[in-house]
Structure 1
Amino acid sequence: MATYIVLVTIVLFVMWAISAYNRLVGLRNQYKNGFAQIDVQLKRRHDLVPNLVETARAYMKHERETLEAVIAARNQAVSATVRAAAAPGEAAAVHQLESAENALTATLGRLFALSEAYPELKADQTMQQLHEELASTENRIAFSRQAYNDGVMEFNTVREQFPGSVIANMFAFKAAELLQVTETEEERKPVKVAF
């Protein structure tokens, strides 16, 4: 009888361990899939930037420095995206991606601010279309980032709570990093509306 109790206890423990391990694997795959969705949208964004710069270049001949800064920021963002896609959830890769994407957003903001001074550029059909596509892509990135962060939060919660933490430590499940957007003070200011 005592042998059966020990045997049943061992079987239950093994079943629990397998279940906990599989849950952690499933949650890790979920947040990796979430990052893959971000990756798709970031590639779309990165592909739009050269077209945007080329359209602006025809009108903004005296703004070469700004156009070059946008392309440089785009290239850094592409490199950071590749590194982060290779290790989604890894803190260093995610921080590099955040930094590169924030720099790209800032340079694009300068480009759009400067384009306001060029009425012909502002009225250009291609520029308007690219601006709309970029805005749409930014929305998709935000939705994808939210799904990724939700997956990371659930994974990290299960990984840190007992009894999942036991399995996570046994099999070296590392914490995943949230993908956050940092805004400058200027971006956080409320929009002024004047009539």
Structure 2
Amino acid sequence: MKNALKILIVLVVLLAVIALPLLTSYNSLVAAEETVNSAWSQVENQLQRRTDLIPNLVNTVKGYASHEETVFTEVTKAREKLIAAGTVAEKAEADQELSSAVSRLLAIAENYPELKADANFRQLADELAGTENRIATARMDYNNAVQAYNTKIRKFPTVIIAKIFGFEPKEYFKAEENANKVPTVDFGNANE
């Protein structure tokens, strides 16, 4: 009887020694994944803030530069693409297109001194600039969380737990390859 009790105690201790690291590894993976999800939520929150600001900015500029229809159309299409994007890669691509279109929209203001002086336009442009900064920060926080998570699921012995429980690598929020190129702004008929 005493031997059976000793064997049972040894088995329980061995099981605890094996199970405890498994549990802590699993729990740390769950926490890391939730950090990634939370950071992504902040990126989406800021992107939504920008998409909410854009129609007001477009309408303000339209009042001064109604003949710039192609820029307004580009902004609208890029905004719709961002709203419809589902994956991180799609959001990144749509974000780049929207940023480029908004840059062209803001460049139009340079040809319209009365637009630049408009208080509503200035406020919207300031809010948009602040939002762009928030988006950049949120993207950086998201990519940092993804980096920590992806590193964690690749390290031994956590990689075993990650594989068993289906923890997959997360996608980074990447700019398009040509994101470092300055967009071309054509004022063509701006003064007609």
TM-score interval, smaller chain? 0.7 to 0.9
1:35 equivalent in alignment to 2:34? no
- Structure 1 match to 2:20: 15
**Residue aligning to 2:56:** 51
**Matched AA of 1:154:** A
* Residue of structure 1 in register with 2:135 after alignment: 141
SS in 2 for 1:131: helix
Deviations 1:88-110 (A, max 9, x none): xxxxx111000000000010111
Q: How does the TM-score come out when normalised to structure 1?
A: 0.85
Match of 1:120 in 2: 114
Identity %: 35
In the alignment, is residue 68 of structure 1 matched against residue 64 of structure 2? no
The Cα of 1:4 is off from its aligned counterpart by: 4.0
CA offset digits 1:36-92 (Å, max 9, x no partner): 111111111000000000000011111111111111111111111xx2xxxxxxxxx
Counterpart of 1:136, as a letter, is G
Worse-matched range after superposition: 31-40 or 127-136? 31-40
C-alpha distance in 1 between matches for 2:18 and 2:27: 14
1:9-39: CA deviation from partner (whole Å, max 9, x where unpaired): 2221111111111110011001101111111
The whole-number CA distance in structure 1 between the counterparts of 2:43 and 2:88 is: 12
Whole-angstrom CA distance in 2 between matches of 1:62 and 1:184? 29
Pairing of 1:164-179 with structure 2 (within 5 A)? 164-179=158-173
Q: In the alignment, which of 85, 88, 92 is matched to residue 98 of structure 1? A: 92
- Give, in whole Å, the separation in 2 of the partners of 1:9 and 1:149: 39
Partner of 1:192 in structure 2?
A: none
Alpha-carbon distance in 2 for matches of 1:130, 1:102: 20
In the TM superposition, residue 2 of structure 1 has moved relative to its aligned partner by 5.7
**Residue in structure 1 matched with residue 103 of structure 2 by the alignment:** 109
Provide the aligned C-alpha RMSD in A. 1.5
Which residue identity does 2:42 align to in structure 1?
Q
DSSP 3-state at the match of 2:67: coil
Q: CA deviation at 1:131?
A: 0.5
Give aligned pairs, total: 176
* Amino acid of the structure 2 residue aligned with 1:43: Q
> Unpaired segments of 5 or more residues in structure 2?
1-5, 184-192
Matched, 1:162 2:156: yes
Out of 10-19 and 162-171, give the one that drifted further: 10-19
- Structure number with greater Rg is 2
